[in-house]
Each structure stands twice: as structure tokens, then as C-alpha cells.
Structure 1
Amino acid sequence: MQPEGSAKRLVIISDAWHPQVNGVVRTLTKLCEQMEARGFEVTIISPADYRSAPCPTYPEIRLALTHPSAIRARIEALQPAFVHIATEGPLGIMARRACLKNNWRFTTSFHTRFPEYLRERLPVPLSWSYGFLRRFHNAAEHCLVPTLSIHDELVGRGFTTLKVWTRGVDRELFRPQTDVDLHLPRPIFLCVGRVAPEKNLEAFLSLDLPGTKLIVGDGPDLEDLRRKYPDAAFAGKKEGENLARFYAGSDVFVFPSRTDTFGLVLLEAIACGLPVAGFPVPGPKDVIGASGAGILSDDLREAALGALAMGRVDPDARLKGFSWEACADIFESVLTTIGRAAASAPRGANSGAVTSTR
């Protein structure tokens, strides 16, 4: 491979891509827009390029069915200057194998707490899952992580070469609006996201709160929760301007998840002027701690009522530092020319400097 012929050609390998709707896909979509605006030629290698099969318990997530040699040949044919492996699924594993086999440098990112998600469904010890992830990411020149809390937790688990990678929000789409009436009893406590076990939605739905508890999103638990909590409102999946109006027409955003690594919905809610209630865990602790736009407590009802008492928040004052431009700045700063990895510093070891952006 001779990457110097395409000095700004970037290949991103991701097992998560459109038509999926989640934080990983939104982050990578916005990143691609930013990098292309900076003159990079970006190619996404995703399950859309191959035959695929539904992921067990997540049928909307497709798992690519191809041979590792096909991924290696695809990367070689693209002649990139940079390779970034965004996920630890089948495509990510095959791309990592190709890079190591050819002694190519690459970067990775940690988006999702798969060990905790897997433990929700199967009796797999966290130490096993994190052991796999540690080996996966420690082979990279840099591993980007979404928050300082996740950075520090992963350092404690033996991860190396970590760097904190912020997120952003579309301030033109997600904005305060005063003319939205959702035709529900006020106050409206809103939760947006996938309706699945790992989102801990029952911690929200079981709360004794005034007004309306509103869930926006789709997922495998939707019908069960509708039957179990008939007094709650379930709007289903919403996108774009329609989603923005649900935020703007609510009074408090409640984030009951204990396993998200960031929570882009937190930024979307704040951008629409909503105070946030959540648990003091990674993700909310970093976003709300940095913005002051809500209340965190181990008593989620206390946090929700405290956020309600705050009233609406000023997005301009609360969202400083959270932008897609800053996200792309950090990403560009860690890109490493594919070149050849230094033989004197074999990747995959647990030694090495740990870096962070604080």
C-alpha cells in the first residue's frame, strides 16, 4: 500500500450505519460531514456493503457476512492514508485483523458498553467481555472515548492510548420553540431513546410524578411497557423536526440509563431548553456536570422534580464546548498515517502512555 498518494483519504469501518438510528450512527454521520468539509475523502465500510444477518435480540442491527480477506482487499484497493475502526463487531474485527497482518497503523473508538448490554441478556462475566475489548482497542494507535468518566474507568481496566472525544448537537434543528402543544397533561417528563432493557426505562415509568410520562422511541420492549404502564404516553419513533418538537413541547428530560457512554439525547434536550434529570453515572455525570443543565441523584424522582423546579435552561450558556466542530477537531488530531506500525512498539500490549483531552 502507498497511502502517500491520497494524503487525505480516510476509511472508517463501522458495523453501525444507516438505516440504524442511534448515537453511534449520528456521531459518525456528523463526523463524515465535518471531515469532508475539511477536504478529506471519506469512505464508510458498513454492513450495507455486504450480505448480512440480523443481530440476535437487535434485528434492526445487521451483521455483515463476508470473509476477512475481502475487507483487507477493500482497504488495499481504497489506498487510504488513514484507517479508523469505529466498532468492535464483525467488520471491525476483520479490519483490525487486516491492519495487524499488514502492520498498518489504525485508530479506534469506544462507543458502547457492550459488556453491560450482553450481561443484561446472557450470564457472561464482565471480565471476559472487557478482556476482549481491551485487546481489541489496545492494538490501536489511539482509542477515542466519549467522556472523561469512561476514560478513567477504562484505564482502570487496563486500556491504553485513550483520548477523550466530545460530541455535538445540531443547534438549528434542536432549539427552543414556544408554539408546541403536545396535547398532554403538564408537566411533561420526556425520555427519548431505544425501548430496550439496557435503557432502564422502568426506573422512569414507575416514578410517582405529576402530569405525563412520555416515551419517544421504538424497540423490543415497547409493547410490554405499554401494557404494564397504561398511564404513560408512548409516541413511537420520531426523527428530525418531529422529534425536535417533542423535546420543545416537554418540561423535563429524564435519562434513566445507567449504561450509556454519553447520551446524545442529553445534548438534544438541553439544546431545546429542557432541564435534565438522571443518575450520577458516566454520561449524565459528564454532560450535566459540564453544563449544569439539570439534577443528578440516585433518587430519580428527586432529580426529576428538582429539574422541573429549575425551569427551562439557556442552551447558549449550557452547551459551550459541545459542538460537532470540536468533535472533528479531536478526531483529526489523532489520525495516524497508516504507514507501518513501529516494530519496536508492538501494539496490543497493556503498556503505553495514556493520553486524554480534559
Structure 2
Amino acid sequence: MRILIATDAWAPQVNGVVQTLSQVVNRLITQGHEVRVIHPGLFKTIPCPTYPEIRLAVWPFGRLRRELREFKPQAVHIVTEGPIGLGMRLLARYAGLPFTTAYHTQFPEYVKARSGIPIRFTAALLRWFHKPSRAVMVPTQSVIDTLKSRGLNNCVLWQRGVDLKRFNPDKSPVSKHLSYSPCELASDDPQQVELLQRLNACSVEKPVFLYAGRVAVEKNLEAFLSLELPGEKWIAGDGPARKALEKQFPEARWFGMLNHAALSEIYKRADVFVFPSLTDTFGLVLLEAMASGCPVAAFPVNGPLDVVGQSGAGVLDWNLKNAALSALQIDRERPRQHASTFTWENCASQFQGYLAPIVYSAGTVRQLTGHKQPLQD
């Protein structure tokens, strides 16, 4: 099957959308599908306001139309609601092509957190964007329920996965021989070695409460960093709010952006993974932490309710301090077992099953070879 994926989120961005998409694309290609990803790297771009590390494509219609005409996909999937996703949506509607979409980010809540714009306005825009989709792929049932309450009834459950070979409680080979230089053994990751050397050289006061992910206002990190907890607070990640928070909370250990090899080590060293976000649709870091044997403390909101729920792999409480302290009592085997029920193979299989097959007609071909820009829906 020829599958065309239009996304405004792609490498070198580091986030859950990119990771999910990469995992699915790799598995589809392995299964013999031909996958073409249309991403910002193919266009002239400008920095996203408030998120300069995210690049937005400028006027992508011409390239998108050409990709549709030349690749002639048998299925089209739109990942994001940015310029590329919007351009593909308009083109597909103009040409009468069925397509599927995904809802990765609680955009109305994010916009309200950043600008104060009421949720009803951005929710209406999202309803317009996703309503023609044959299936809006959503990571959790609680988010599906939220979208249904806002008028979207074409949502389907598209669960996520975790790489258990990468994220697990086992002691890594690197941790057993740290006396050499990273360049002496090519199979070892230099950042992983550097992190372990750094941790082994310093005094760590237990317990360790960890957050990993984007450091931004919508992640509600102050709710975690302001807690009075024993031991230490660790932050792994980067983002637009890091400088201000690092200055406000200098007592926390700030590790910056870590690759997966280094991140797997820090999960193993932590005693509790604290996830203060109120706006995530899923939270892949929850699975990564649990797969590493680290129990979770979070608020009982969309994301944690579905990923952790009543599994006993973490504690969900509106009192985040109580959740963090209570999670210390959880046996580390319990989160590991729970995380093992989420697989990328199942994620890719669900994705493929939801795709809407395209049947071409002469009219469709004429629409795609024309020059008129589809600016009206």
C-alpha cells in the first residue's frame, strides 16, 4: 500500500508525536508498505511563535499537490493541524480524496494556557479541521470523550507503545565499565556514558523524583518543582520555559535534553516519575518510565487516567505531593509489567486498520493536475 503522511512535526523535533510517527513508519516499511512523509524539512520554513525550535512550512500547496499527483497514494493520513496538515486537508477535500487525521495535542488547552483564548474558539477550529476525516485517531478514551463532548463523533482509539528493549530495569552494559573513554567502544552511546559518569561522580540524596519531557508552560512544571519533597528533583528535557524555571528552582538538577540511551539510565536511577501536566493527550514518557520500573505520580486527568489508571503502577491524586510520596511504596516490578501491555506493533496495526482506501477517478486526476489553489473548503 502507498501511504502518504502529512505532518508538521518531524525530526529534528523531539516529542511524542515525532516518536510515535517514526515508530509507525518504520514498522509499516518493514511490512512492505511504501510510505512517503511530507514534513517541514522539505519546505522553506519560519520559526513557530513562542516555539522557535519548531519550524513551520511556508505555503506548502504546490509541493503537496505534486506529491499527491506523482505518488498517487492509496491512503492519506494527516498528523497535525499546522500549515502542512491544513494544506493537505484542503487539497484532499478539493480533490474528493478520503483521509484520516490524528489528534495528538490538546490544542485548545495549550492555547488557553499560553494566551488566555477561551477553549470554545480553538475547539471550534479543531472541529472544522477534523470533521471530514474518516477517522480521527486519538490516543486515549478519555480524550475521545472530551472530543465527543465538543461535537466530534468520528474518533477512534489509537494506542501508543514503548520499546521494552530500550526502556527496562536491567543494568546496562555501559554502567558496568565506565573507566574507558566513550570513543574506545563504538557500540556505547557517548551521552549515556557521560551521564553515568556525571551521576557516579556526584552525591545523590535519595529519593529522586524525576520529570522528563518538554519544559514549557503547558507542562505545569511549577506544580512539581514547588512541592516540598525529601531527596532531589531531577528535570530531563528542554524548552522555552527552562531558563526561567532553572533560575526560579536552582536546587533541582537540570540535565537538559537527553537521547533515549541516556534517558533510559535516568529512569532507572529515579524513584518516582512525577508528571504534573494537565493537558497531555497521552504522555509517552509515562510508559518509558514505567517500563524502566519507575512508578508514576500524576494528577487524575486525561493521559494518566488512561495510561496508569487503576493498574497500581502509579498514584493519581489531586494532591501531587501525596501522590509522589505514596508512589515510593510501589514495587518496581508492577509498573514494568503494566508498561509491557503497550506495544508499537499494536500501535502500527491499529493505524493501518483505520486508514481510508482511495479509489481514483478521472475527475480526481483532473483536480490534482489543475493549478487552482484550494483555499475554500
TM over 0.5, shorter chain = yes
* Alpha-carbon contact 2:290-2:336 (below 8 Å) kept: no
Report the secondary structure of 1:338's partner residue: coil
Residues 67, 190 of structure 1: alpha-carbon distance in 2 compared, 3 angstrom cutoff: closer
| Segment drifting more, 81-90 vs 284-293 | 284-293
Q: Which residue of 1 aligns with 2:151?
A: 158
Tell me whether 1:53 sits opposite 2:46 in the alignment. Answer: yes
Tell me whether 1:77 sits opposite 2:100 in the alignment. Answer: no
Choose which of 21, 30, 46 in structure 2 pairs with 1:37: 30
Q: Spell out, residue by residue over 1:217-257, the C-alpha distance to the aligned partner (whole angstroms, 9 max, x if none).
A: 01111121111112111111101211110111111100000
**Alpha-carbon distance in 2 for matches of 1:305, 1:84:** 42
Deviation at 1:169, TM superposition (A): 0.6
Structure 1 length-normalised TM? 0.90
* Alpha-carbon contact 2:295-2:335 (below 8 Å) kept: no
Percentage identity across paired residues of the two chains: 47
Bigger Rg over Cα: 2
Residues 124, 81 of structure 1: alpha-carbon distance in 2 compared, 3 angstrom cutoff: same
* Alpha-carbon contact 2:214-2:237 (below 8 Å) kept: yes
| Segment drifting more, 171-180 vs 250-259 | 171-180
Q: Which residue of 2 aligns with 1:216?
A: 236
**Alpha-carbon distance in 1 for matches of 2:350, 2:341:** 12
**Alpha-carbon distance in 1 for matches of 2:117, 2:336:** 43
Calculate the aligned-residue CA RMSD, in Å.
1.5
| Segment drifting more, 65-74 vs 137-146 | 65-74
Choose which of 261, 278, 298 in structure 2 pairs with 1:278: 298
Residues 290, 147 of structure 1: alpha-carbon distance in 2 compared, 3 angstrom cutoff: farther
* Alpha-carbon contact 1:177-1:249 (below 8 Å) kept: no
5 Å matches for 1:331-350? 331-339=351-359
**Alpha-carbon distance in 1 for matches of 2:346, 2:310:** 15
**Alpha-carbon distance in 1 for matches of 2:55, 2:311:** 35
* Alpha-carbon contact 1:248-1:273 (below 8 Å) kept: yes
* Alpha-carbon contact 2:209-2:234 (below 8 Å) kept: yes
* Alpha-carbon contact 1:15-1:92 (below 8 Å) kept: yes
Report the secondary structure of 1:172's partner residue: coil
**Alpha-carbon distance in 2 for matches of 1:315, 1:306:** 14
* Alpha-carbon contact 1:169-1:324 (below 8 Å) kept: yes
Q: Spell out, residue by residue over 1:204-224, the C-alpha distance to the aligned partner (whole angstroms, 9 max, x if none).
A: 000010000100001111121
Deviation at 1:69, TM superposition (A): 3.6
**Alpha-carbon distance in 1 for matches of 2:77, 2:60:** 19
What one-letter code is carried by the residue in structure 1 that aligns with 2:16?
A: G
**Alpha-carbon distance in 2 for matches of 1:144, 1:297:** 28
* Alpha-carbon contact 1:260-1:282 (below 8 Å) kept: yes
Q: Which residue of 1 aligns with 2:216?
A: 196
Q: Spell out, residue by residue over 1:292-313, the C-alpha distance to the aligned partner (whole angstroms, 9 max, x if none).
A: 3100000000000000121423
* Alpha-carbon contact 2:164-2:340 (below 8 Å) kept: no
What one-letter code is carried by the residue in structure 2 that aligns with 1:198?
A: E
**Alpha-carbon distance in 2 for matches of 1:201, 1:260:** 13
**Alpha-carbon distance in 1 for matches of 2:340, 2:19:** 20
Q: Which residue of 1 aligns with 2:85?
A: 92
Gaps of 5+ in 2: 176-195, 362-377
Q: After the TM superposition, which segments of 4 or more aligned residues of structure 1 sit over 6 Å from their partners?
A: none
Tell me whether 1:254 sits opposite 2:254 in the alignment. Answer: no
Deviation at 1:320, TM superposition (A): 4.4
**Alpha-carbon distance in 2 for matches of 1:31, 1:178:** 28
5 Å matches for 1:1-358? 8-178=1-171, 182=199, 183=202, 184-289=204-309, 291-315=311-335, 317-339=337-359
Report the secondary structure of 2:209's partner residue: strand
Report the secondary structure of 1:108's partner residue: strand
